[in-house]
Amino acid sequence: MKRALALVAVLTTACGPQPEPDDGPRFDVELVVQRALLDKISAFQVALVTDINSVSGGDCTAIRQTCIRDQVPASRFVGLRNPATNRTEPARVFPINLVAGTPSTQDVSLTEVPPGRGYGLIVEAISKDGQRLAGSECTFVQQLNAGANPRVLMRLQQFDPPRSCDPRLLQ
């Protein structure tokens, strides 16, 4: 089996329970991971950044080359509610909790995301040592509505060896 490593994050509002109207947008995220990548990562960090076009001209190829925390000030991260703590955080970190299969999958959700325009959706794979960037991807999110939002497909670019920047927004 080819050891090509990829992560596919599918964001969709069609899965899972629908939020109450006051909850704001909800993204149900399905992470699809090739087995070989599991040896390199400990968690997935998901963040939304405002005005992504002002970061490296909105060029995701350039943006994903280093940790997003090193590219934008803390005020540019959209607050994401963590249902476990009921607190708003600059990113959500999802530990590896895969459902076995070929490929393996993991469902995660972002809830109560504020509606807005020009967001960048950033998924970063945190290395096993917790302090390096093992992979990254970003995409432009033109608009988030309070209701249903379009499906987004992302493929994580893996870094071998992992990048020396520390991606963690939460420490």
pLDDT in the model for residue 109: 73
Provide the total of helices (H) and of strands (E) in the chain, helices listed first. Answer: 1, 11
Please say if the pLDDT value at position 11 is more than 60: no
Residue ranges per structural domain of the chain:
7-16+23-160
What is the per-residue pLDDT for 9? 39
Look up the pTM and report it: 0.81
pLDDT of 5 over the 50 cut: no
- For residue 120, pLDDT beyond 70: yes
Report d(CA 134, CA 132) in Å as an integer: 6
CATH T-level assignment (fold) for domain 7-16+23-160 = Immunoglobulin-like (2.60.40)
Give the Cα separation of 133 and 125 in Å (integer): 6
Strands of the chain (E only): list them: 7-12, 27-33, 41-49, 80-82, 87-89, 92-95, 104-110, 116-127, 133-144, 152-155, 157-163
